[in-house]
């Protein structure tokens, strides 16, 4: 009898220890980080910056996988339909909040099918134009657009992206008629501005800042609430005749809904550690982005409020993608 009790106790202890070991084993293989934009885009750069650090912290490689197209919805849907085991993550952007109102049909519901691990960055935009365009300020650009209604065009990294919506918002506030030319990512969107195929692009800082610094494009304004220390010569959009304008690109890490809580919290804890490393903060700061990490609950509430906010804007502007 005593032997059977001891055997049962040992078996129970083994099960308990096995469960603990299994819980501690994550990750036991590489982790994918899906990105809805091509290499060199702002979201891709931020994904690779965090991915490199997370690989060190998790002890397993974080592999960034680009699935560009459809306003980043291809990547988002793939993440939403992946197994909720912590091995597929998504670096999402405001398109997650914009798409429900913008697209007639979506194969996923971000609020239902994805769970936030936390926001990871905040990035202002910079309005850049082709160097031959006869403007020296955002006021000049708006005057030119009003004088040539429907003749000037602007690029974006895809329908529903932060750059697209930011330009539509600026256009609506300024009463402009400009034509949208969508691309599959920021690098392509800005390359055609340099080539003169497109007049303007409201680029996220990591894409626009280096080319402005290199003299490839003219920069007219930034989308932040205040001027930025690294480009003090550029006024804000609000200072350029549109008071109250502010528009920032955020990035966040998400996982499929139903991913175990302990895995979500492990990933969040490693994001916090990554954010607090000087090299990551300096890398993002050099690109014009700020490292920010929130809790899963904070990001969940934020995504809901962003979805409500952008839904109203998209409907007010009458934007739709079939």
Condensed to tens digits (0 to 9), the pLDDT of residues 249-284 reads 999 999 999 999 999 999 999 999 999 999 999 999
**CA end-to-end span of the chain, whole Å?**
72
In whole angstroms, what is the distance from residue 267 CA to residue 225 CA? 31
Q: Which residue has the tokens 């850049």?
A: 128
Q: Residue 24's pLDDT is what?
A: 58
3-state secondary structure (DSSP) of residue 8? helix
Please check whether residue 64 is in contact with residue 4, taking contact to mean a CB–CB distance below 8 angstroms.
Answer: no
Question: What CA–CA distance (Å, rounded) separates 289 from 45?
Answer: 10
Residues in the chain: 322
pLDDT in tens, 10-65: 343 343 343 334 445 899 999 999 999 999 999 999 999 999 999 999 999 999 99
The pTM for the full model equals: 0.86
Domains annotated on the chain, with CATH? 28-122+249-317 (3.40.190.150), 124-240 (3.40.190.10)
Q: Please state, for a pLDDT cut of 70, what percent of the chain lies above it.
A: 93
For the segment 93-111, the average pLDDT, to the nearest whole number, is 95
Confidence of residue 317 (pLDDT cuts 50, 70, 90): confident
Positive or negative CA dihedral for 163, 164, 166, 167? Answer: positive
Residues 6+ apart with CB under 8 A from 258: 84, 115
> How many Cα atoms occupy the beta-carbon half-sphere of 67 within 13 Å?
18
CB atoms closer than 10 angstroms to residue 106: 17
- Alpha-carbon distance 83 to 78, whole Å? 10
- Report how many helices (DSSP H) and strands (DSSP E) the chain contains, helices first: 12, 10
Q: Distance (Å, rounded) from C-alpha 44 to C-alpha 49?
A: 9
Contact 145, 176 (CB under 8 A): yes
């Amino acid at each position: 009898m005593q032997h059977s009790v001891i055997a049962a106790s040992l078996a129970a202890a083994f099960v308990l220890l096995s469960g603990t070991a299994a819980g501690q084993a994550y990750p036991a293989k590489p982790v994918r980080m899906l990105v809805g934009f091509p290499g060199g885009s702002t979201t891709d750069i931020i994904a690779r910056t965090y991915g490199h650090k997370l690989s060190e912290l998790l002890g397993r490689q974080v592999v960034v996988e680009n699935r560009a197209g459809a306003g980043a919805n291809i990547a988002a849907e793939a993440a939403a339909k992946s197994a909720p085991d912590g091995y597929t993550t998504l670096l999402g952007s405001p398109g997650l909040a914009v798409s429900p109102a913008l697209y007639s049909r979506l194969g996923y519901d971000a609020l239902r099918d994805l769970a936030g691990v936390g926001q990871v960055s905040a990035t202002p935009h910079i309005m850049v134009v082709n160097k031959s365009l006869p403007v020296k300020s955002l006021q000049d650009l708006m005057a030119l657009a009003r004088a040539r209604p429907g003749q000037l065009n602007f690029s974006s990294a895809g329908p529903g992206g932060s750059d697209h919506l930011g330009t539509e918002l600026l256009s609506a506030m300024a009463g402009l008629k400009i034509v949208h030319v969508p691309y599959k990512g920021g690098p392509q969107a800005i390359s055609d501005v340099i080539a003169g195929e497109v007049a303007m692009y409201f680029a996220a800082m990591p894409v626009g800042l280096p080319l402005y610094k290199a003299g490839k494009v003219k920069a007219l304004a930034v989308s932040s609430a205040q001027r930025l220390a690294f480009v003090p010569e550029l006024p804000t959009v609000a200072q350029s005749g549109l008071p109250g304008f502010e528009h920032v690109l955020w990035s966040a890490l998400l996982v499929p809904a139903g991913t175990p809580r302990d895995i979500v919290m492990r990933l969040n804890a490693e994001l916090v550690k990554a954010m607090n490393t000087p090299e990551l903060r300096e890398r993002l700061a050099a690109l014009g982005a700020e490292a920010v990490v929130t809790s899963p609950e904070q990001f969940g509430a934020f995504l809901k409020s962003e979805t409500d906010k952008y839904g109203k804007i998209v409907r007010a502007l009458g934007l739709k993608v079939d």
